[in-house]
Structure 1
Amino acid sequence: MPRHTVHSRVDASPETVWAVLLDKMVHPQRYIEDALDAEILERGTSGVVRRLVLPGGVAFRERITADSRRGTVTFTLLDHPVYEGTVVNRLQVSPEGEVELTFELDWTIRTDCVDDRDPQEPLALIRSSVMHTKRIAEALENGR
């Protein structure tokens, strides 16, 4: 599966966007439309391990780490039935103070697995995720 990167400017402060990215770690149902269930299995100083359940009974664990210095939250698949790899959510602030979100999906198909998804689906999902996260941050910033 190819790597997908999606960017979007966000009309919110870096602090608001960072708070949303941290919330996304422990409350995925607010950000992933088809998340049926989520459970935090471990908590550490820089992140969590959570179990996520999606439609069709797809359940997997992922390690999620936050690095405030770099402005990244990294989701690493631990035991997904089809894929392995990461999704990185990156908060960037330009010298002019503009805030941008970048989501990078880098998944590969596990050995002996078949990917029966439409090849455009992962890109559409990551695009939707960026836009949904942007809308939430902007609404929080504007008190809505």
Structure 2
Amino acid sequence: MVEYSTIVKASLEKVWQHLILKIEKPENFVPGVSDVIILEKNEDFVNRKMTITTPENATTLVEKITFVPYKVRFLLLEHPKFEGYVDNDIKFISENETEMTFTINWKDKTTQFEFDNSEMVKNAVLKTKTFIENN
């Protein structure tokens, strides 16, 4: 498990609205995202397909996304290497500050080793923080 937290200079409600926006517009929040397709959407979950490109490769994945205030979970349904989920949690600090924590619980399908790229998690959190504070 890899986790990273930061304080966003925005209200809890504003951060929550952006996390909901992130479901359909992840390219604003996650580095390297393209080709986002919403496969299924209802009041309980969204199934989404997208590609993430890094300097090493491009990976297409399918996720089932659930959301209840104030947690969004991105469960991997299809990924060539990993299984597991990512949680985006937020917590009230003050009227204009919200704590935001991303936790990646991925395991390698073959080796069962836990995903351990703390820099990637930090970059995703900081990109999300910047987008929320500027929009």
TM-score by length of 1: 0.82
Counterpart position of 1:36? 34
Partner of 2:48, secondary structure, is strand
Partner of 1:8, secondary structure, is strand
Q: Is the 8 A contact 1:82 1:113 kept in 2?
A: no
CA distance in 2, matches of 1:35, 1:12: 24
| C-alpha RMSD of the superposition | 2.1
TM-score by length of 2: 0.87
> In structure 2, do the counterparts of structure 1 residues 59 and 14 end up closer, same or farther at CA, with 3 Å as the change threshold?
same
CA distance in 1, matches of 2:111, 2:133: 42
Partner of 1:131, secondary structure, is helix
Residue-pair matches, total: 131
Describe the superposition over 1:77-118 as per-residue Cα deviations: whole angstroms up to 9, x where unpaired: 001110000100001013x55410000011001036999xxx
Name the % identity: 29
CA distance in 2, matches of 1:72, 1:110: 25
Partner of 1:78, secondary structure, is strand
Q: Is the 8 A contact 2:30 2:128 kept in 1?
A: no
Counterpart position of 1:61? 62
Partner of 2:132, secondary structure, is helix
Describe the superposition over 1:8-67 as per-residue Cα deviations: whole angstroms up to 9, x where unpaired: 011101111011100110011111221121100000112200001123342110011110
Structure 2: runs of 5 or more not aligned: none
> In structure 2, do the counterparts of structure 1 residues 13 and 36 end up closer, same or farther at CA, with 3 Å as the change threshold?
same
Partner of 1:32, secondary structure, is coil
2:8 counterpart letter in structure 1 = V
Of residues 43, 48, 51, the one that matches 2:49 is 51
Counterpart position of 1:126? 121
CA distance in 2, matches of 1:139, 1:112: 40
Deviation beyond 4 Å, 4+ runs, structure 1 = 112-115
- Is residue 2:20 matched to residue 1:22? yes
